[in-house]
Amino acid sequence: MTRLTPESVEAEEVREVLTDQELSAHARLIWAYLTVADRPQNSNSLAAELGFAASTVSKHIGPLREKRLIRRLNGVWIAESPAEEA
């Protein structure tokens, strides 16, 4: 399920991602922020909102994409449910 609103987040999904030791702390924070953000974010807005360098966001987006936890749509990042992981 694509995440667009905070109320659509299940606690088990959040726990699953936040305890995934294959993801860095930065990647987990990016996913959590996208999950609760009131609108999709581009890389620059993520960097500004989280206080990260743009290069840090870029580096940690890759593992999230590989796990299909986020996707890019029209230039913005959208969080995906870990249940969709194939």
Q: Judge residue 11's burial from the number of C-beta atoms within 10 Å of its C-beta, 0-12 exposed, 13-18 middle, 19 or more buried.
A: exposed
What does the pLDDT read at residue 8?
66
In a domain, 20, yes or no: yes
Q: Measured between alpha carbons, how far is 17 from 15 in angstroms, rounded to an integer?
A: 6
Give the count of domains, the chain: 1
Q: Judge residue 5's burial from the number of C-beta atoms within 10 Å of its C-beta, 0-12 exposed, 13-18 middle, 19 or more buried.
A: exposed
Q: Is 14 helix (H, G, I), strand (E, B) or coil?
A: helix
In a domain, 67, yes or no: yes
Q: What is the pTM of this model?
A: 0.83
- Residue 13 sits in a domain of what CATH number? 1.10.10.10
Q: Which residues of the chain have pLDDT under 70?
A: 1-8, 83-86
Q: Residues 35-55: pLDDT tens digits?
A: 989 888 999 999 999 999 999
Residue numbers of the domain that contains 54:
6-84
In a domain, 1, yes or no: no
What does the pLDDT read at residue 5?
47
